[in-house]
Structure 1
């Protein structure tokens, strides 16, 4: 067993998240697992605390150092809360002992909220799969890992805790860094009536995976290209079409899992993004959007270009001046972050996580899975796609009341003869009452 360290550095991508986060503006994402029977809260707590020693890099709290934030070992066990009470209230990131994740339950649903500094969806998804697997064992379900679960007895791979950005970093001359291509340009910004008390509406679509795949085959495109185009057209049809004023281009941020191109077993952050730009000077078409997304992803998944982008992101961290500037002053230097992630540089994030691969023995007990990103001041609208079994799930988290985008997307699915189930729920942004922190 690898020696457990009392503290650890944040990975390259994670270093900026605490500096960009405030009480009601956090870079969080949610994973929702729906079981076939009501969740036993006590059994889930046991499962989480049984699994955490195997995922030691997640058993941490956030601590502010003089130069950078760091992770320190957590000193208390995790407790599970009630989803109705906590809603989508902020994580206690900057409170003493506050963890960087939270588990809540309601009925048959497990809600796991993660601060992005912990890792990306690929890494934390492995942790969540392990927790659900352990929970099913705790409740007497006959499940087997089948090579798809990191169990408590799975040997630790040192690569799980590596900073893959630094692993693949190669110093480049300043002239070769990809600053301009990552910077982008001003984009159309979705605006509307904000919910009170930082509330968030969660809108979920569930589609039959095989129907979507068959449609994409007939169109000669991928699922990501079709759904990304459908979302872009919904933004245009719902928010722009028919308006007299000129609008900027729709720009979608589409995450790229770098593990596909640079081998790594890291459970930390290891992803970049493709910036998809759809001009609105003339009305876009579905076919045109599919083509633009195809070309953008092809361009941005070129390995040589990705290598340059890795070097660009790491270079910003390893600059000598960044190693001596006190953390309290680093916020003054966040202007460069707005070059990449500023409010005006994207319309929304659209992410297709892909297929969550679970053991077949878990099929009777896990009925569905949804992933979502929390909206924030930079992006009041987010969209995430994930598939499990034969369900393809799209989740919008939005901070505004208007539903024009959903209406336009629903009309698209009807026109394309795709069946779908639809649900919507408003989550409070402030917890309803005092609760014990896990």
Structure 2
């Protein structure tokens, strides 16, 4: 059987938002941007004209990005954007709210500053995995323009003008099975407090370590990297915020899980599920090893395919509810906004592990590192995102409060375990200047 392709007439029409995307337009605000950033640090200065040419070439190969958001009577929907996206020099703080009336209506930004190319994406478009594919294609196209001697790779940049229809399928509907399903755990978690930063400002701290060392330390503890880092984060919050005292509210971490490999789907849209791990500190004297054991067990249980299927069944069945479907959009928004807020209250923070980033060998030498940043929210003032490129493992904290004691405790604990780190930030700490991830410095 041949692969079904998207006809040009279909690409110039509208499509529904996927099951995860539907909540973001209703829930987004100035303080809850739902924007994330992926950046590539090159070994040379970015050439804006070449980057613009690359973006103009790439956008037509990614129909998931070549859209604008519209509000219908019952639901938001996407339609093909007839405009052309533009690259911009970075001026704002990372992950600034996305105004769909700006940027020619596109829901992503391509930014440059010095030797860094950044892609900021509104979560209604896609998740981290989908955005990474777009950024990698953009990078390789850009590098081919700047360095014509790079051989054109078959199957990489010579993609068909009509993409595979599978890239626009709603993965949640594809794997849906009529099952009872269940709602995620809804107990209110402990929440961080601090002095808010100025309007839309976020504080970013990157910690860069050896990938091999991170893997080795996680193996020494007998857990995965995600379980290890989640446990260090929970431990740091308990020690710094709660001073090691008992707490009725658990310290919980929300972990987005990429479902593509688990369910054999290659969609370019959102296809993830947020699972929760955490620790109920019902007594003092709990050790880090105890946290590791609990978190690792929770993660293994949550990642069972059947459990993920039941979560998906609950989500899809809710979106298909005939009563909910019949309400006009403004009524749905009144329901979805508090629902999103209630979901965030079940987590103290979030940690997203994008995994290993790879480029074709012909391009790999031109890139020094990749970075991944999440936008914090009112309920989750600090978030953490990680990815690796070669032997550079980058842990990125983003926060909308002035205090940085959690980040400091986290990195100090890794150092105590023998993991050497290089720290970069866009703020001054203790009146000591530190290199900015943008190549600039700001006062705290």
Give the TM-score normalised by structure 1.
0.91
Aligned pair 1:124/2:131, yes or no? yes
* 1:287-343 Cα shifts (integer Å, max 9, x gaps): 12221221111111111111111110011111112222111111221277248623x
Aligned counterpart, 1:353: 354
Structure 1 CA distance for aligned equivalents of residues 98 and 337 of structure 2: 25
Q: Deviations over 1:166-208 (max 9, x none)?
A: 1111223xxx2212xx032010101101101121001100000
Gapped regions of structure 1 (runs ≥ 5) = 428-438
Aligned to 2:234: 232
Deviations 1:212-258 (A, max 9, x none): 11222222222112111111111112211156x84511010111111
Separation in structure 1 between the aligned mates of residue 182 and residue 178 of structure 2, nearest angstrom: 13
Shift of 1:2: 2.2
Q: RMSD of aligned C-alpha atoms?
A: 2.1
Q: 1:161 aligns with which of 165, 168, 180?
A: 168
Do the aligned partners of 1:274 and 1:296 also contact (CA within 8 Å) in 2?
no
Which residue is equivalent to 1:222?
224
Secondary structure at the aligned position of 2:199 is classed as: helix
For 1:315 and 1:154, locate their aligned partners in 2 and report how far apart those are by CA, in whole Å.
35
On the 8 A contact 1:357/1:388 being kept in 2, the answer is: yes
Output aligned runs, 1:84-95, within 5 Å.
84-85=91-92, 87-94=94-101
Structure 2 CA distance, aligned partners of 1:150 and 1:165?
Answer: 29
Q: How many residues were matched structurally?
A: 420
Q: Report the Cα offset of residue 85 of structure 1.
A: 4.5
Q: CA deviation at 1:392?
A: 0.6
Q: Shift of the alpha carbon at 1:98?
A: 2.1
Residue of structure 2 equivalent to 1:42: 49
Identify if the C-alpha distance between structure 1 residues 108 and 335 changes in structure 2 by more than 3 Å, giving closer, same or farther.
closer
Q: Tell me: CA distance 1:340–1:300, structure 2 relative to 1, closer, same or farther (3 Å).
A: farther
C-alpha deviations, 1:80-104, integer Å up to 9, x for none?
1121346543212255942110111
Offset at residue 13 of structure 1 (A):
0.8
CA contact (8 A) 1:126 1:150 kept: no
Which deviates the most, 45-54 or 143-152?
143-152
Deviations 1:27-85 (A, max 9, x none): 11110110011111111111111011111121011111111111111122111112134
Aligned equivalent of 1:103: 110
Unaligned runs of 5+ in 2: 428-435, 437-444
Greater Cα shift, 303-312 or 22-31: 22-31
Determine which of 208, 212, 215 is the counterpart of 1:213.
Answer: 215
Q: 1:177 matched to which residue of 2?
A: 181
Query: Which 4+ runs in 1 deviate beyond 3 A?
Result: 85-88, 94-97, 141-155
2:18 is equivalent to residue 16 of structure 1: no
* Partner of residue 430, structure 2: none
Deviation of 1:160 after TM superposition, in Å, equals 0.8
Q: Distance in 1 between matches of 2:197 and 2:169?
A: 40
Aligned-residue offset at 1:141? 5.2
Q: Deviation at 1:409? A: 1.3
Partners of 1:276 and 1:296 within 8 A in 2:
yes
* Distance change in 2, residues 1:238/1:260 (3 Å): same
1:27, 1:122 → 2: CA distance?
A: 15
Tell me, in whole angstroms, the C-alpha distance in 1 between the residues paired with 2:218 and 2:22: 38
Matched, 1:193 2:195: yes
Q: Distance in 1 between matches of 2:157 and 2:259?
A: 21
Measured in 2, the distance between the counterparts of 1:148 and 1:280 equals: 52
Residue correspondence of structure 1 range 21-420 to structure 2 within 5 A? 21-85=28-92, 87-94=94-101, 97-140=104-147, 142-143=149-150, 149=156, 151-153=158-160, 156-172=163-179, 176-179=180-183, 182-241=184-243, 246=247, 248-283=249-284, 284-334=286-336, 337-338=339-340, 341-342=343-344, 344-420=345-421
- Cα deviation for residue 157 of structure 1 reads 2.1
Residue matched to 2:439: none
Whole-angstrom distance in 1 between the partners of 2:244 and 2:174: 49
Structure 2 CA distance, aligned partners of 1:88 and 1:164?
A: 26
Greater relative contact order structure (CA < 8 Å, 6+ sep)? 1
Residues 152 and 121 (structure 1 numbering): CA distance in 2 closer, same or farther, change over 3 Å?
A: same
